[in-house]
């Protein structure tokens, strides 16, 4: 049985963690948030959390999870431009 290699998740500022080792994401709130401090990432084998400059939603997306099952986040990012040209028939 071969296992699929785990993907590396970018946490910001040159920090990466293996997706299969991340066990908790904690949003930073209040006065502690800012200056590149968005999320505390708890990684198996590391006693203290890693401070990430990315939000928990973007980290979850990169891990392969779907933080918004309805897909509303992707729909918000989709451009809403009218079709400018009609293809030739």
| pLDDT, tens digit, 9 for 90 and up, residues 5-50 | 788 999 999 999 999 999 999 999 999 999 999 999 999 999 999 9
pLDDT score recorded for residue 6: 80
* pLDDT in the model for residue 73: 53
Q: Give pLDDT, residue 47.
A: 96
Query: What is the residue range of 40's domain?
Result: 8-67
Q: Is residue 43 part of a domain?
A: yes
Q: Is residue 82 part of a domain?
A: no
Which pLDDT belongs to residue 64?
83
28 within domain boundaries = yes
Q: Which helix (H) or strand (E) holds 38?
A: none
Evaluate whether residue 86 is within a structural domain. no
Q: Is residue 76 part of a domain?
A: no
In a domain, 89, yes or no: no
Burial class (CB in 10 A: 0-12, 13-18, 19+), 28: middle
Total domains present in the chain: 1
pLDDT in tens, 58-87: 999 998 865 555 555 555 555 556 666 667
In-domain check, residue 77: no
Residue 73 within any structural domain of the chain: no
């Amino acid at each position: 049985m071969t296992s699929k290699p785990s993907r590396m998740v970018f946490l910001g500022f040159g920090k990466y963690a293996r997706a299969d080792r991340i066990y908790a994401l904690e949003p930073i709130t209040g006065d502690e948030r800012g200056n590149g401090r968005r999320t505390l990432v708890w990684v198996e084998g590391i006693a203290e959390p890693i401070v990430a400059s990315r939000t928990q939603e973007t980290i979850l997306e990169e891990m392969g999870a779907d933080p918004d099952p309805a897909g509303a986040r992707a729909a918000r990012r989709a451009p809403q431009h009218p079709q400018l040209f009609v293809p030739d028939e």
